[in-house]
Structure 1
Amino acid sequence: MYLISLSLRCAEWQRGERAVRARLALLFAFAALTFVLPAAAQEKAPAASNVSTVAAEKRAISQSAQFVGRVEAVERVDIRARVTGFLEEVLFKDGETVKKGAPLYRIEQAPFQAAVQQAEANVQRAQATVDNAVVQRQRAEQLLLTNATSVAARDDKVAAQKTAEGDLAAATAALETAKISLAYTDIASPIDGQIGRTAVTRGNVVGPDSGVLTTIVSSDPMYVVFPVSQREFLRLAERHGQKENRENFKVFITFSNGRRYAQAGTIDFVDVKVDRGTDTIPVRASFANSGGELVDGQLVQVDVETSAAEEHVLIPQNALIADQEGVYVFIVEEGKVAQRRLKVGQPSGASIVVTEGLSGGEPVIVGGLQSLRPGTPVTAVPIEKPVGG
């Protein structure tokens, strides 16, 4: 009896334990649902984040093309010695501005002055010979009238006079040459401009074989010469016509540090032939340079713009994203991120021209682009300027 009673008690205890376990399992399941359901609801409806946007701008801009050019002086003169002698004086300071006719070098003059004096003496001697020959001819003609001399003798006097006159002409020419050589001992500036560094100092022997003594370049105005590819030249010709007035093109230059030159230039020359080696056509523009900012030989970026403006869509350059398929931007569309594939044209300052993909007015996202995905809920926050632009 005792064993039967104990067995019944054990069975009741086991049934009670199973009931407790069932209640605990139900309680844990309810608690888990309590935590999981809010989390799932949160994943389905994430909060929209703020993104900086700039509206795609539609405005009229001039068509432009970019090239690489080099600044050239309108006038450039290499100064050389034209006679040989000792250099007595250097009459300028390196780098200064000189005027036309300003003295630059002086070569020792004494030998050339002596040559002039000798040539003058030769002229006097030749003149005396001519005068005597004239008298002898006149006397022979008078004697011939009285048959006191022969015709042959008279002809000899005439020939002697002509010979003396020839010697006089040669002596006179030698005198002029000596005077020119003497004048070459003073070397003056042939143009207005800035002078470079002297290659020789006083005491050296200089002459035609000495090479360039110094260089003078004019400074205002200045040329900028840039090569235009045959393809680009034909494109401009098709768009604006072969006889397009050059005044309709404005030329701007940008220095290597990114600063743009304040004054615009005008195209004044297009070469008449194509460079066969590079398939380019040299084009030249003229720029005022009263401030002396443009330096001969300087490398610059050249922007050629047409005066006829056309309407285009522009967006900040820092909004562009590139991948293997090309470039695209993110815009805000109905509160979500949307992707737009683009075709772009020439840059315009901090912006770039969009030729296909945007019509203007779209809020283009310019900040936090790396973390965005199409379809992500966002709130557009318009800004006036591109981030970093």
Structure 2
Amino acid sequence: MKQSINLAIAGTILTISLAACGGKKDEQQQAPPPPTPVTAVKVEKGNATYYDQFPATITALVEVEIQPQVSGNITGIFFQDGQQVRKGQKLYTIDPQQYRAGYDQAVANLNVQKANLNRAQKDADRYNTLAQQDAVAKQLVDNANASLEATRMQVEAAQATIRQVGTNLKYTTIYAPLDGTIGISQVRLGAAVAPGSTPLNTISSDNPIAADLQVDASEIPRFLKLQSQKSSGRDSTLVLAMPDGSTYKYPGVVRIVDRAVDPQTGTLRVRVAFPNPEKQLKVGINANVRVKNSTGQPQVLIPYQSVTEQMSEYFVFVVGDSSKVTQKKVTLGARINDKVIVKEGLKEGEMVVTEGTQKIREGAKVKVSNGQ
């Protein structure tokens, strides 16, 4: 009997011990996880100056095709392809022989008509004097006056012919219409040319030179304002990014804002002029024009790496009370280097997680390090 009692007491003690051990194990399993270490920064306002970038093509402010105005064969070329030319510099000559002969003939014809005019004038004067004395028939007087008038018209016609053939003779020598760079000649010595044929060459101005860009219609007031502003040599409002990524050292100015928006694209062409003293910029280069943009007042700025994108929407994790994070939707503005403007969703002084966002979720408790 005594042995049965002892066994019962031992079993009870063992059951209590096992129950106690199981309770401790459950408590260990239900213990909350430790805070996740993250890096966070305080939301601050800062200078929101940045550059908008527009694709552009380098083009000449003035470009002229050299066209022949008379027919003939090229007898002279007086430049090197691709060289700088000055306004008024001789470029080409077209065989002038037939035009010089025509001019000489027109001059001779004018001299004949002037001699006829002189004779007609004397006849008219004589008949008019006789008419005052009633010594000649009125019909003869009228004929003399009519002949004088006809001869005067023939002189005027001869003078017009001289002007015409003189112009043709002048066009046999072609001069540069502006300062600039001339291209590769499209004709060689002896080539036959005529009005309306292929241009002989092209001259384009190269200092200053321009960059053409297409801007959205909403940008028109901005570029009209830039056009009205005076630019200094140190201004950095309009800068040119070269194809190799370098920045062109001379700033630009808005020279032309086109007259109308393209209804198909909703864009407007803007022409920005740049100094080009070293002839570094060549027509046809594709580059980018960077236009400085500033809101004029401090804006909320956060590191761009703190932003996550989900279904074309943007979110950040904000550290709140009790070191718990809350995911907030934000509306972003322009990106400025490694930061981005936040238009809506955050307030100055809040803490946003910059590193460790992939390890946390809504409501998670975090341990902030390297925070501000």
The match for 1:168 is 155
Listed as ranges, the gaps of 5+ residues in structure 2 are: 1-24, 232-236
Q: CA deviation at 1:363?
A: 7.8
- CA gap of 1:100–1:321, structure 2 versus 1, over 3 A, is same
In the other structure, the counterpart of 1:346 is 334
Unaligned stretches of 5+ residues in structure 1: 1-35, 383-389
**Is the Cα–Cα contact under 8 Å of residues 337 and 378 in structure 1 kept in the other structure?**
no
Cα distance per residue 1:127-178 (max 9 Å; x no partner):
1111111111122223333433212111111111111111111111111211
Cross-structure match for 2:215:
228
Matches within 5 A, 1:1-389: 58-62=45-49, 65-233=52-220, 246-247=228-229, 250-306=237-293, 309-317=296-304, 320-324=307-311, 326-328=313-315, 341-359=329-347, 372-374=359-361, 380=369
Secondary structure, counterpart of 1:282 in structure 2: strand
CA contact (8 A) 1:137 1:161 kept: yes
User: How high is the TM-score relative to the length of structure 2?
Assistant: 0.74
Contact kept, 8 Å, 1:68 with 1:299, in 2: the verdict is: yes
User: 8 Å contact 2:38–2:366 — kept in the other structure?
Assistant: no
Q: Which amino acid aligns with 1:222?
A: I
Question: Alpha-carbon deviation of 1:101?
Answer: 0.8
Q: 1:246 to 1:142 in 2, by over 3 A?
A: closer
Question: Matched residues in 2 for 1:174 and 1:223: separation?
Answer: 44
For residue 90 of structure 1, what is the amino acid of its counterpart?
I
Contact 1:246-1:268 at 8 Å conserved across structures:
no
Query: How far has the Cα of 1:55 moved from its partner?
Result: 7.3
Identity of aligned residues (%): 28
Compute the TM-score of the two structures, normalised by the length of structure 1: 0.71
CA contact (8 A) 2:227 2:256 kept: no
Contact 2:226 2:254 in 1 (8 A): no
* CA gap 1:129/1:70 in 2 versus in 1, 3 angstroms: same
Amino acid at match of 2:162: L
Give the length in aligned residue pairs.
Answer: 341
Kindly state the Cα deviation for residue 321 of structure 1 after the two structures are TM-superposed: 3.7
Q: 287-296 or 202-211, which moves further after superposition?
A: 287-296
CA distance in 1, matches of 2:175, 2:355: 64
Distance 1:368 1:248 in 2: 49
- Structure with greater Cα Rg: 1
**Superposition RMSD on alpha carbons, in Å?**
4.0
Shift of 1:356: 3.4
Do the aligned partners of residues 83 and 54 (structure 1) sit closer, same or farther apart at CA in structure 2, a change above 3 Å counting? farther
Say which SS state the counterpart of residue 265 (structure 2) adopts. Answer: coil
